[in-house]
Copies of this chain bind each other. A is one copy, B any other.
Amino acid sequence: MKVAVISIGNEILLGKTTNTNLTYIGEKLAKIGLDLDVNKTIKDNVEDISSTLLYFWENYDIVITTGGLGPTNDDITKQVIADFFDKKLNFIDEIWENIKTRFEKRGIKIPEINKNQALVPNDFQYLINNFGTAPGLFYQNNNKLFFALPGVPTEMKHLLDDKIIPILQSKFNFEPYFIRTIHTYNIAESALAEILQPIQIPSEIKLAYLPQTGRVDLRFSGQNQTLIESTINKISPNIKKYIFGFDEENVSKLFHNTMLQNKLTISVAESCTGGLVQKMITDNSGSSKYFLGGIVTYDNKIKEKVLHVEAEVLNKFGAVRLL
């Protein structure tokens, strides 16, 4: 089953918006066993949208678009979709009522222009949007599925999670796809590869080396979970001293778990980091069990007064980096 996502929006190509929608869709599809094959990000213009739809609808089984479903002139995706599939647009009362209710709740008069958003191409199903005014769209032709989603992340996520994933799961039996990651540090990508070279990795497992600043992740993926586990068990002892965690574990999570396991508590005094360390600690849900509180001493006078850091030391360093 081949899957494509088309991201529509000049703001992504201009570097004004990062395509976090793609990350979210890729991750959610992988979780149900659907491997996203390709993404194309294009501008909001008729020609680019039409030609991209033509290519992807011909070559892929599932096509998802994001963006361009808003009520204003620059939102042209729906009209182009209707033209591409050669479908008339129908006005749907249920959508209009939903949009009106959203405006009424905010106590605002509804602009006429929002009527656009109640239009749905013939033979398409609509997916009511509880977080915004643009409904999602769904069209099936034989075994091919087409979905259109709004670009606002909260609305896109809602429609993907609550409408599209259930539709996909009701129509297909996916083989789940497994991903496991080993996080390493203090070793170069190539040196890791040299150590692992003599170890046979089964061909059903894809091993990727993902270098990042200060560390290298090893990502194992495939559909045979047992084989992935046994491969990781075989590999880990050889690179033990470079491993600092697995999967969702990062430095912050490891710190969190260590505090809980050892029943420790902590207070923090920060200077130049300006609250960042405490923010990182409290980002871990449950950190109130060990994090009591702390201070940020940004001004030198406060450093002296509260932390009793000597003025002389402060002068010597300009500002003392407490953390």
**Interface residues in chain A, defined as those with a beta carbon under 8 Å from any beta carbon in chain B:** 10-20, 22-30, 35-44, 48, 70-75, 103, 106, 108-114, 132-133, 152-154, 179, 181, 188-194, 197, 206-213, 219, 221, 268, 270, 273-283, 287-288, 291-299, 301-303, 306
Contact between B288 and A292, CB atoms less than 8 A apart: no
List the B side residues contacting A179 at CB < 8 Å: 14, 16
Contact between B282 and A193, CB atoms less than 8 A apart: no
* A26 CB contact (under 8 Å) in B12, B110, B303: B12
List the B side residues contacting A302 at CB < 8 Å: 292-293
A275 — nearest CB in chain B belongs to which residue? B278
18 pairs across A/B with beta carbons < 8 Å?
A: A10-B221, A12-B23, A12-B26, A12-B39, A13-B22, A15-B24, A19-B19, A41-B41, A103-B188, A108-B188, A108-B191, A110-B190, A111-B190, A113-B190, A133-B188, A275-B278, A278-B296, A295-B296
Listed from nearest, the 10 A-B pairs whose CB atoms lie closest are: A274-B282, A15-B27, A275-B278, A15-B26, A275-B275, A275-B279, A292-B299, A293-B302, A71-B190, A111-B190
CB proximity of A62 to chain B, nearest CB, Å: 13
Contact between B275 and A282, CB atoms less than 8 A apart: yes
List the B side residues contacting A292 at CB < 8 Å: 298-299, 301-302
A177 — nearest CB in chain B belongs to which residue? B14
Contact between B294 and A219, CB atoms less than 8 A apart: no
List the B side residues contacting A212 at CB < 8 Å: 152
Knowing A111-B194, A206-B10, the reply to whether A40 touches B43 (Cβ < 8 A) is no
A292 — nearest CB in chain B belongs to which residue? B299
List the B side residues contacting A113 at CB < 8 Å: 190, 193-194, 197
Q: State A181–B193 Cα separation when bound (angstroms).
A: 47
Contact between A210 and B274, CB atoms less than 8 A apart: no
* A71 CB contact (under 8 Å) in B11, B26, B189, B278: B189
Contact between B40 and A39, CB atoms less than 8 A apart: yes
Contact between A154 and B48, CB atoms less than 8 A apart: no
CB proximity of A60 to chain B, nearest CB, Å: 13
List the B side residues contacting A17 at CB < 8 Å: 23, 210
Q: State A275–B153 Cα separation when bound (angstroms).
A: 26
Contact between B282 and A279, CB atoms less than 8 A apart: no
CB proximity of A298 to chain B, nearest CB, Å: 5
Q: State A43–B206 Cα separation when bound (angstroms).
A: 12
Knowing A11-B208, A18-B20, the reply to whether A288 touches B298 (Cβ < 8 A) is yes
Q: State A281–B191 Cα separation when bound (angstroms).
A: 41
With A10-B208, A38-B48, A72-B192 known, 11 other A-B pairs at CB within 8 A are: A14-B36, A16-B219, A17-B210, A38-B42, A44-B208, A70-B190, A111-B188, A113-B190, A275-B282, A275-B294, A293-B306
Contact between B299 and A296, CB atoms less than 8 A apart: no
A30 — nearest CB in chain B belongs to which residue? B14
Q: State A291–B298 Cα separation when bound (angstroms).
A: 7
* A193 CB contact (under 8 Å) in B73, B192, B219: B73
A153 — nearest CB in chain B belongs to which residue? B213
CB proximity of A12 to chain B, nearest CB, Å: 7
